[in-house]
Amino acid sequence: LTSFCFLFFDSYHFSDRDPLPISVIAAFLRLGDKYGIDQLRSEAVSRLTSVFSTTLEERDRNWERKSSIITDIEYTRSLFTAVNLGRECNLPSVLPAAMHACSSVQAKYILRGVHFGDGTRCIMSPADQEACITGRLILLERQGTKTLKWLDPKESYAGCYQPQACDRERQGVFQGFWYPLPKFMPLVRWNDKKVSFCKFCSKKSSDLHNAGRQGIWDELPSIYGLPEWEELRKQQ
């Protein structure tokens, strides 16, 4: 079987980083572990750790690229699979980003699992289901006090050039984000085009936003009961 794996591996041309589905990456990782084929394992690890990165900068770069080296990353089953691989294959550094992605999934899918194309069920362990659901609630609170702190009515905008217009804009954005249910966006990137503030408010708001989302990122592992980032990077 080992030689079969090598044939399988050679049939892909990894150097150009063709996108692959997560099922193939999972097979690489599991076969690589089972038969001690480092080349297979490291290819899988490099893809997973790049997509589920340990730094906010790399996450943002992935976002800007718009396409992923994991073809079906937008599917819920891929997110659950990434968490399960992180657990099974001793790859804990992917867990904070993968679990954060799972926290954006509706609780009913987290609890029931979802189906693969072949009808089998993809579900996380009960402990990870609980961590992703409770993590969502913690992150919704943090997004209010950190990433979206610039929407806090108590925040001062004393240097504002057009107080009435900026207040109106802030109230509108606030309502859009929180009503009737809060949108899950703890790590959303600041986008100047989405808000029309004066220069002063725009600068102050984006500064608060960027510092806030970095703060949430730093805290992400502990929200999911995982070791600190530094520890996780060492295990990569």
Kindly state whether residue 160 participates in binding Zn ion, applying the rule CB under 5 A: yes
Candidates 31-39, 68-76, 182-190, 196-204; binding stretch for Zn ion (CB under 5 A): 196-204
| Helices and strands (H, E) in the chain, number of each type | 11, 2
List the one residue from 187, 201, 216, 223 that touches Zn ion (CB under 5 A).
Answer: 201
198 forms part of the interface with Zn ion (CB under 5 A): yes
Shortest distance in whole angstroms from residue 224 CB to Zn ion: 37
CB of 214 to Zn ion, least distance (A): 23
Q: What backbone torsions phi and psi does residue 20 show, to the nearest 5 degrees?
A: -130, 150
| 166 lies in the binding site for Zn ion (CB under 5 A) | yes
Would you say how long the chain is, in residues?
236
- Residues that bind Zn ion (rule: CB under 5 A) add up to a total of 4
- In the complex, what is the shortest distance from the CB of residue 122 to Zn ion, in angstroms, rounded to a whole number? 47
In whole angstroms, the minimum distance from the beta carbon of 168 to Zn ion comes to 10
Under 8 Å between Cβ of 197 and 67:
no
Q: How many CB atoms lie within 10 A of CB 105?
A: 17
- How would DSSP label each residue in 75-124? SHHHHHHHHHHHHHTT-GGGHHHHHHHHHTS-HHHHHH-EE-TTS-EE--
Catalog residues that contact Zn ion under the rule CB under 5 A. 160, 166, 198, 201
